[in-house]
Amino acid sequence: MSETPRGPQRLAPAESLGFVVNRLARLFAAALQRRIAPLGVAPAQFGVLLLLYERDGQTQAELARVFEVEQPTMANTLNRMQRDGLIKRAPDPSDARRALVRLTTKARRLQQPLITEARAVNAAAVEGLSAGELEALRGAAARVTANLRAP
């Protein structure tokens, strides 16, 4: 079936799937950043805000799990959000280890503008793709994600 590669081993970095995905992630982040920076929100903060809009008062560990980032990464992001007045941390009365992350009024006021900008980025990104192509993209990406998550 698939032939074992022979001869001198070479690799063109710019065509590897890893590079393509890395560049795409940077382009997504840059596009989002251009649109939400005027609102005083950074890309990683944006994701956390979206989640808290759906359900306020989660713990740091829960947020880290949803975004699949390490706990110190989320801790730093939340520190910056607290510094910028987007969240507060309130001690959990039922568990002295936890702090519940809560939106500030300032953050709540940003909900609709942020969602508008995010939709615009998404719409621009998938322009020209049919529903079927988009579904194929998501499906293939999900498979690759699962493949890389395993080991």
Partner DNA sequence: CGTAGTAGCATAGCGTGCTATACAAAGTTA
Partner DNA sequence: TAACTTTGTATAGCACGCTATGCTACTACG
Residues 94 and 49: their CA atoms lie apart, in Å, by 24
Nearest to 54 by CA among 95, 114, 99, 124: 114
Q: Does residue 90 bind DNA (CB under 7 A)?
A: no
CB atoms within 10 A of CB 39: 12
Q: Does residue 61 bind a second copy (CB under 8 A)?
A: no
Which part of the chain contacts a second copy (CB under 8 A), choosing from 74-82, 85-93, 96-104, 125-133? Answer: 125-133
Render the burial of 86-115: b for 16+ CB within 10 Å, e for the rest: bbebeeeeeeeebebbebeeebeebeeebe
Among 99, 115, 118, 125, binds DNA (CB under 7 A): 99
Name the minimum Å distance from CB 56 to a second copy: 14
- The listed partner (a second copy, DNA, none) that binds 71, CB under 5 to 8 Å by sort, is DNA
CB atoms within 10 A of CB 129: 12
Residues that bind a second copy (CB under 8 A): 5, 9-14, 16-32, 34, 47, 50-51, 53-54, 66-68, 111-112, 115-116, 118-119, 121-122, 124-129, 133-134, 136-145, 147-149, 151
